[in-house]
Structure 1
Amino acid sequence: MSASDDELMRRIHRDLIDGYDEELEMEFEDRTVAELTGDASPDFTAQDKEARRQYFRELFRLQGELVKLQDWVVATGKKVVIVFEGRDAAGKGGVIKRITQRLNPRVCRVAALPAPNDRERTQWYFQRYISHLPAAGEMVLFDRSWYNRAGVERVMGFCNDDQYEEFFRTVPEFEKMLVRSGIQLIKYWFSISDDEQNLRFLGRIHDPLKQWKLSPMDLESRRRWEDYTKAKEIMLERTHIPEAPWWVVPADDKKKARLNCIGHLLGQMDYNEVAHPAIVLPQRVRHEDYVRQPVPSNIMVPQIY
């Protein structure tokens, strides 16, 4: 194995460790960040470990602010739509997980629509997205959105030229209508380099827990990198409107991209902390004639662990 191959495998290994960090974030509830960090990999230097500590500290701080934002959205009846777009493996799902991780799913929910079915393909293009829009006091995060037509549908030939042009004629008016109806629309494009996408795809190939993320469409998108670049440039140029501008998130560093995106999102709304009454746990009511019945042993889950 050449030196360049050794370096590539080290980078893939470090990326896998980052992925396991993500799973650790999902499970971690204690705020003692020091417990998170250890000798995860011989490739990690003391500087790397300190960067991880700083990342977790800042992530938890921003998530605390997101909780305040959520309370403010509910209290004010705000309606928020956040669109996340980007190439495959750009990190959209990762930042969405960090945003929703500690929020109430009844307030902040994710819309990740599958490919349209036969019936939906005969509808007005935007129709299937409308039912997912928020009511007052709700935030909806679109993990990909109506911009599929400007990206994957265009590149893969799933729409014709007339449909493509009609999309660009309609989408500015559609988004202006959303804004006029009282919805705040925020659009993010996650931007990664050719080399970084290649690395992340290789990481998925080498990680049996993530191989399911690689669909035939993902592999074909890798081959058509330049076509996606052209489609993205046209999309940003033709749909960047004052009512709903695009914001580009440099995402080659996944952790920095998450922090930067969440920090920017918080800055898009003039929220403030909502005062809540003190919570007092009531005393349990006890009755002398109450007897708790034993649970039948045949319905108990075996205590293997």
Structure 2
Amino acid sequence: MTDLPRLNKHLYETELLRLQNELVKLQEWVRLEGIRLVVVFEGRDAAGKGGAIKRVTEFLNPRIARIAALPAPTERQRGQWYFQRYVEQLPAAGEIVLFDRSWYNRAGVEKVMGFCTDEEYWQFLHQCPTFERMLIEAGIVLRKYWFSVSDTEQERRFRARLKDPMRRWKLSPMDTESISRWEDYSRAKDEMFVYTDIPEAPWNVVESDDKRRARINMIAHLLSTIPYQDVTKPPVALPPRPAPKGYQRPPRDLQKYVPDYAHELERGKKRK
């Protein structure tokens, strides 16, 4: 892990906004050119994947850019080809899909926690490169990011979640188990890279002890690897508002309005 100090907040926010502006340009290019873009976010629990995804999608159109964060498979899905439910999430032309964890669950949590058999695990490592080459040959643009966090920083984030009622939901028994199985997850990640870090779809490692640096680095890298262009959209002009034609709004007492809670807040502030 890097020993660099935390990225300056003002510099981070300024550059993040610039990069997000470029992401909007990328989105429009994807839409108009009919590109299919898949971005895979993987890494340990509390490595910062969710925060990075949030910053990527903050100003994007959810009809074009969507997040695929699949729950545990149903009984029926367990009887399918392993990749099948992920194929259903792939983008159509002009769409972006960001996988908040992906088919790599099998090489990570399923392997370490014993949720799959050894046969299923090795079959995945054998099939995954072929599966990804098929996606690329079909014209899908695939980018894979591994968010790397140190053991001390991961534990610090877990403890912070325990104390924060707004984020405590993020901490599950699976997360706490990852502390005691740190080396098991490390071995699983190393083995996964051996088989799936292929030239056509390489892994890009994001050092994420500093979340600000991680987000900036990841977004900047993604933009640098895609030859998008700034697509000039035709200017939009607002038409003049037509002259009134006698419409009368119904009386307010005929409709149910939301109480003015904000006004009560203002009154309470003035009383103090």
Q: Deviations over 1:206-264 (max 9, x none)?
A: 11111111111111111111100000000111101111111000000000000000000
1:191 maps to 148
C-alpha displacement of 1:290: 1.6
Query: What is the distance in 1 between the residues matched to 2:252 and 2:106?
Result: 55
CA contact (8 A) 2:45 2:175 kept: yes
- Structure-to-structure mapping, 1:98-177, within 5 angstroms: 98-177=55-134
Cα RMSD after superposing both structures:
1.4
C-alpha displacement of 1:72: 0.8
1:40 maps to none
Amino acid at match of 1:254: K
Specify the SS of the correspondent of 1:299.
coil
Aligned partner (choices 179, 185, 192) of residue 136 of structure 2:
179
Give the unaligned 5+ runs of structure 1: 1-46
| 1:243 paired to 2:210 | no
Aligned residues: 258
Report percent identity of matched pairs.
58
1:21 maps to none
C-alpha displacement of 1:175: 0.5
Query: What is the distance in 1 between the residues matched to 2:45 and 2:224?
Result: 27
Specify the SS of the correspondent of 1:80.
strand
Amino acid at match of 1:141: L
Specify the SS of the correspondent of 1:232.
helix
C-alpha displacement of 1:287: 4.1
Amino acid at match of 1:124: W
* Deviating 4+ runs (over 6 angstroms): none
Q: Deviations over 1:141-193 (max 9, x none)?
A: 00000000000000000001000010011111111110011001100000000
Give the unaligned 5+ runs of structure 2: 263-272
1:300 maps to 257
Specify the SS of the correspondent of 1:220.
helix
Where relative contact order (Cα < 8 A, 6+ residues apart) is larger, the structure is 2
Query: Under a length normalisation based on structure 2, what TM-score does the superposition of the two structures give?
Result: 0.92
Query: What is the distance in 2 between the residues matched to 1:217 and 1:82?
Result: 24
Q: Deviations over 1:36-65 (max 9, x none)?
A: xxxxxxxxxxx98x9111111001000011
1:29 maps to none
Aligned partner (choices 168, 186, 189) of residue 211 of structure 1:
168
